Amino acid sequence: MVARNYRELQERMDPAARAENQQRVRKELERMALDELRSAKRLTQVDMAEMLDVPQSSISRIEQRADMYLSTLRNYVHALGGMLQIRVVFPDGQTVVIDRFGEYEDKPYVVRAQAEGGGNYRLCAFPFQHPGGPLSTKTFKVHGLLKTLKALNLAEPQISAVRNSLENNVDTEIGGHGVPRVFRFPDLIDAGFEPAEKPVALGVEE
């Protein structure tokens, strides 16, 4: 038996049945997990990775996480063509849409990778076009450096370029060549950055 076109079936329904069907569809969408929502939009993890400019593995991690920063979820939903809204529902039935969660969420930073001698490295984040203090990771060896760069969703070629620069004792800005990559505060905190305990200098790439 040949399956009928969904739109054709919808057009043959009476208005009441069509409205009921659309309501059921909306309710199902409301209950969907991220990967199910992506599939409903006929998008693959590869498609999402290309739109968000991150490795496919990052999309997989996002879809499997039980919690995440709002900025991460918002970017994912925007890539699907939607708009993220958070609603507060009170016992009396009143609902309030929260569309701002503090200015911190959208503050951008640029990140520099610094060699500190003895095979030790550190990543420092500096405010980009806004007042604020710098952030910094702890000092770590190359394994910790690579792990943190992956947590920032950098592609393998970028990670290799940063590692090569540091092995040549050249501090480097992520992105480089006068075009810095901008990172958001929540993503930096998620990757292990903290407010810098001591002043850090924004060096000049050699």
Q: Residue 69, by phi and psi: left (phi above 0), alpha (psi -120 to 50) or beta?
A: beta
Please give the Cα distance from 167 to 64 (Å, whole number).
Answer: 35
pLDDT value of residue 111: 93
Strands 172-173 and 183-184, how do they pair? unpaired
pLDDT value of residue 10: 55
> Do residues 84 and 152 both lie within one domain?
no
Residue at a domain's end among 98, 118, 138: 98
> Do residues 62 and 108 both lie within one domain?
no
Cα–chain center distance at 116: 29
**What is the number of domains present in the chain?**
2
> Do residues 76 and 115 both lie within one domain?
no
Structure-block tokens of residue 29: 């969408």
Mean pLDDT, each 10-residue run in order, the chain (206 residues): 49 68 57 79 87 82 73 76 76 74 64 90 88 87 91 87 89 72 82 75 46
Q: Does 144 reside within a domain?
A: yes
> Do residues 111 and 58 both lie within one domain?
no
Q: Does 7 reside within a domain?
A: no
Q: Does 68 reside within a domain?
A: yes
Q: What predicted TM-score, i.e. pTM, was given to this entire model?
A: 0.49
Distances (CA, A) of 124 to 3, 12, 174: 58, 61, 10
* Residue type at position 130: H
Domain of residue 71 covers: 17-98
Q: Does 130 reside within a domain?
A: yes
Neighbour-count burial for 52-72, b at 16+ CB within 10 Å, e otherwise = bebbeebbeebbeeeebbebb
